[in-house]
Chain A
């Protein structure tokens, strides 16, 4: 990790006692972690609970994070273990609950209620993706190329500058302007 690696900078702050820095890490990785946990846990409400639990465990374990691996690799392992533990606990619990069908029905009804109770909290992936893609397609070609090379192909600014035959500063500016344009289209969805 470089000295200006965003994760490294934020982790240092968390270790100094700044909880807001951990919040920034949660914001950064929350979608990936939910997506990962959802592969193990089918119920959306339960996946959210497991994700929260995984982040909490990561926060508690952060003093032991030495930075030998990338932060997300470390977080990934915590999330997978948390999801597996949850499944193991659920299977033990469901074994006990087999004896009481009525209780199971009640739990399922509550889960369904939780999923439906707060639709204003939920954003739909398809809606966001459609908005992002429409915004990207509407960009001038130089901005679109720059952001796609960065986000889809994972190229560095230096490599993009080589491909686009322009200075690194221009690449940086193009990617920023592309993000700002997409953000403008996303804002109404996020503020709803």
Chain B
């Protein structure tokens, strides 16, 4: 090992390194001789500054290293600071996203209701009797209701079966199971 590198470690200990320390850290961590000097120089410092404990354990650092080997690696996320002027823009972007989402979600429902209104208006051609249009609307509504009733009945039956099989009592055993007849008049 180059003597200069050992001298660099000495300067590094004093925080007096003139050149970039990254390469020296690489060498320090991977060269046993430099690590040995790192330990020795600090021991000399602690001794001269009366920082030594009464008894020194040679194996302390290796014991800590063994424990840390069982720990997961630290990978701290690198924080990327954004300029202050971007913060209001970020808030604006979030607000715009929420607004866009609201438009996408709510518009079909509104369109659906407005279409019905438009259909009612447009399905009334000039000269067509009002009663004929009313019959068409009635038929549509009856069909939608029938589908909903079928789904509801199916749900109630399934729920009732599940409740019986799982031994759950609840209120339904004491109440009539409600079904809805499709062909009710």
Known: A2-B15, A122-B57, A123-B55. A179 touches B68 (CB 8 A): no
Give the interface size class of chain B. Answer: 35 or more
CA distance A25 to B22 in the complex (A): 15
Contacts of B76 in A (CB 8 A): 15-16, 62-63
Give Cα A47–Cα B56 distance, bound, in whole angstroms: 11
- A16 and B75 contact, CB distance less than 8 A: yes
- Interface of chain B, helix or strand or loop or mixed? helix
Q: Are A175 and B10 in contact (CB under 8 A)?
A: yes
Q: Say how far B60's CB is from chain A's closest CB, in angstroms.
A: 5
The reply to whether B55 and A27 form a contact with Cβ atoms under 8 Å apart is no
**A52: chain B residues within 8 A (beta carbon):** 60, 63-64, 67
Interchain pairs with CB closer than 8 A, number:
177
Q: Name A9's contact: one of B21, B45, B63 (CB within 8 Å).
A: B21
Chain A interface, DSSP helix/strand/loop, else mixed: helix
* Contact string against A for B residues 25-48, beta-carbon threshold 8 Å, 1 for contact and 0 otherwise: 100111000010111111111111
Give the residues in chain B near A20, CB-CB below 8 Å.
29-30
Q: Bound complex: CA of A148 vs CA of B73, how far in Å?
A: 39
B169 in contact (CB, < 8 A): no
Tell me the minimal C-beta distance from B37 to chain A in angstroms.
Answer: 7
**8 Å CB contacts to A: which residues of B98-137?**
none
Q: Nearest residue in A to B12 (C-beta to C-beta)? A: A6
- Map CB proximity to B onto A104-128 as digits: 1 under 8 Å, 0 otherwise: 0000000000000000011111001
State the A residues within 8 Å of B (CB).
2-6, 9-10, 13-24, 26-28, 30-32, 34-35, 38, 44, 47-48, 51-52, 55-56, 59-60, 62-63, 121-125, 128-129, 132, 136, 147-148, 150-152, 156-157, 172-173, 175-176, 179-180, 182-183, 186-187, 190
Which B residues contact A (CB, under 8 angstroms)? 6-7, 10-18, 20-22, 25, 28-30, 35, 37-49, 51-61, 63-65, 67-69, 71, 73-76
